[in-house]
Structure 1
């Protein structure tokens, strides 16, 4: 190991030790104290926005020089409006019920023992993510609200923004009496340090990756720390034979174009072979600048369509690009989605409620919509406040991860001298 690597690993170990101490001090903290810290962060973001934006501009300039795509630059970009929205969201988060201490269940045994299961913090949460500096604030606030310490490891593309944000956050929470080390940033963005973080079982209680499919797969494959898998979004909109024309076009266009760089944007559209408005849908998408890849059924029905390859059906474009396929039945649509989807968000447009129910039951995804855009898969839209990501696994948490997903449970037992 080189001296540089040793220094970075020593720094990471120090972060881990300090996080454990901070997590212990957060245990049992009153909700009011946690809310005060979050409000302090909100105020500091507004008052120090100029410092944050200067750092973000440096990241954007470096990103453009490095050839980052427009979609990645959009994820990276902060402006006064986005900082204001982040600050507003923090105030909204303070109004949401604190899950810590909530009684999940309680019962009494025949021998008189009284048992209750209550929500408790996870402890130390690790977040590894790409580009989006808003995740830095969301993760810190959600973890603070649930009494967890957090170790943040962003990408090199956002390092200046993240350093500025974490400095603001640490100062803000220290001002109201919370330990600054409740929120820490791993400033070394090397793969070696990330790989070390993946295996810090003595420090981390859980690791949450948020970003590209490649990042998520790397964490899942390499980590020995328990991982909550957030998913890439190869999301589908299925337009059934009975779908209303205007509704179907509106939903498909919104799901694809409203913000194409995010994981809940539609990447595929499946159309029943008897739905008669395919050409109009394709034209509506093309008017919005969307590049269309299609199978033979689409090419026969619409102009200006590229031939879809086998790779297209599994592709997450994250851009104004979509693949469209004609299917013969709802069953075929379900089968195709379960083969190529990422278990994130799927939608059916249909006037047949029985057909919609079959689709919603049959599709394996965290969120399945009937007559609505996939763009609603979001912590705010679900009423959870900010989110840490969208879990596509089936253990502990699934779908947008709000406050309860950052808690575990413990069982408390009250007796009166029972020994058997």
Structure 2
């Protein structure tokens, strides 16, 4: 059987499963989610053993440490995956929610209600925790999930999906609600991208190259999740203690994720006081600063290249510049931001209002770390990804963002 036939057959099974999921009650879905969470914990050692194969292969291939960090699973991370599924089980079910409605002048009753997409394909890199997150959100929102992770996480993903499928089936829902897309390399992903009619929507989650490839090559509708060149702007009106804590947390809390800060901007009025402090604190945390001429006046700073300003480092690196005023900061962000998350640190409410109004990103933080842009932190449960586009969803995509709508029109023999 060709890879095209394999992938399409997998998608057809997903379509059949999606019909059962679309009409499943919240109680049935929540019971399955809790069983999935329990199974992950109970079979954690099995998953960790599979993950060790992926880690060993990555180390042999001299994979960068930040990518290995995204790939690695341990009992704590598996427990977090299970906690995410339990949290999703506790959230309201969006399916069937009435978005708007009322009675028309002709007596017809009109309701717009939330419905699942149907079959959702997710193409993602490295992080095997996405396998559980995506499966849970898709199931709760009534969608069948077709998962295409990277070859680097194949052993981990195979083990996780095996655990989840068994738990789903044991609770009365079709195991094909969650499936791995067949095929190693890019062949399976390419077939998935062209499975229009079998797959309702694709969500790419990974680096710029992956996202660009899916957006440009797919005939299936795509919700684009974006890379994160996130900025922290320290305004003249900033509390410098808050600013230092926010910069350090945004950059160093976890470097390999898209909501980690990659760029620092500092108002020139506070540069003499703030730069020596933040440079030293970043240096103590092992961060390499790629700075402009003003930053380069100090030790521990490398001269920034033109490419550094738009770079998603995903490592202990940050670009840094001094700006003349808030308008210069906004201009810099407009030119270089990926419109994921950008933050301002300031006690000046006029400056805050200007920044919030002028910075067009999926999330704008005020006196808070960029690391808070996350479905779990927003109370959405585990997220499917963070969309940086403006259609169909923007920002962390939770349960509601994994639905579409349909109109239900009820009459009493009405004809037009």
Is 2:250 aligned against 1:246?
A: no
Give the alignment partner of residue 208 of structure 1, picking from 196, 199, 203: 203
Look up the match of 1:290.
Answer: 287
Give the alignment partner of residue 170 of structure 1, picking from 165, 172, 194: 165
Give the alignment partner of residue 326 of structure 1, picking from 322, 325, 347: 322
Look up the match of 1:3.
Answer: none
Distance 1:415 1:172 in 2: 42
Equivalent positions of 1:13-24 (< 5 A) are 13-24=8-19
Contact 2:7–2:182 (Cα < 8 Å) also in 1: no
Q: Secondary structure at the match of 2:173?
A: coil
Look up the match of 1:353.
Answer: 349
How many angstroms does 1:132 deviate by?
Answer: 0.5
Look up the match of 1:416.
Answer: 412
Distance 1:334 1:123 in 2: 40
Distance 2:217 2:3 in 1: 19
Count of residue pairs brought into register by the alignment: 414
Is 2:112 aligned against 1:122?
A: no
Q: Secondary structure at the match of 1:220?
A: helix
Is 2:162 aligned against 1:156?
A: no
Distance 2:332 2:184 in 1: 38
Is 2:117 aligned against 1:136?
A: no
Distance 1:187 1:329 in 2: 53
How many angstroms does 1:28 deviate by?
Answer: 1.3
Root-mean-square deviation (CA), in Å?
0.9
Contact 1:154–1:189 (Cα < 8 Å) also in 2: no
How many angstroms does 1:86 deviate by?
Answer: 1.1
Give the alignment partner of residue 59 of structure 2, picking from 56, 61, 64: 64
Contact 2:6–2:182 (Cα < 8 Å) also in 1: no
Look up the match of 2:68.
Answer: 73
How many angstroms does 1:187 deviate by?
Answer: 3.6
Following TM superposition, the consecutive aligned residue runs of length 4 or more in structure 1 with deviations greater than 2 angstroms are none
Look up the match of 1:234.
Answer: 229
Runs (5+) with no aligned partner, structure 2: none
Contact 1:238–1:270 (Cα < 8 Å) also in 2: yes
Contact 1:237–1:348 (Cα < 8 Å) also in 2: yes
Give the alignment partner of residue 374 of structure 1, picking from 370, 377, 386: 370
Distance 1:143 1:193 in 2: 20
Runs (5+) with no aligned partner, structure 1: 1-5
Q: C-alpha deviations, 1:186-241, integer Å up to 9, x for none?
A: 14132222112111102111000001111111111111111000010000000011
Distance 1:230 1:384 in 2: 17
Distance 1:112 1:279 in 2: 71
How many angstroms does 1:272 deviate by?
Answer: 0.7
Distance 1:187 1:8 in 2: 7
Scaled by the length of structure 1, the TM-score of the pair is: 0.97
Give the alignment partner of residue 278 of structure 1, picking from 272, 275, 279: 275
Distance 1:385 1:399 in 2: 14
Distance 1:334 1:122 in 2: 37
Give the alignment partner of residue 387 of structure 2, picking from 378, 388, 391: 391
Contact 1:23–1:147 (Cα < 8 Å) also in 2: yes
Q: C-alpha deviations, 1:356-401, integer Å up to 9, x for none?
A: 1110110110000110000000011000001001000001211000
Distance 2:171 2:305 in 1: 56
Distance 1:225 1:259 in 2: 33
Q: Secondary structure at the match of 1:184?
A: strand
Q: C-alpha deviations, 1:260-304, integer Å up to 9, x for none?
A: 11100000000111113111111110010000110112112x212
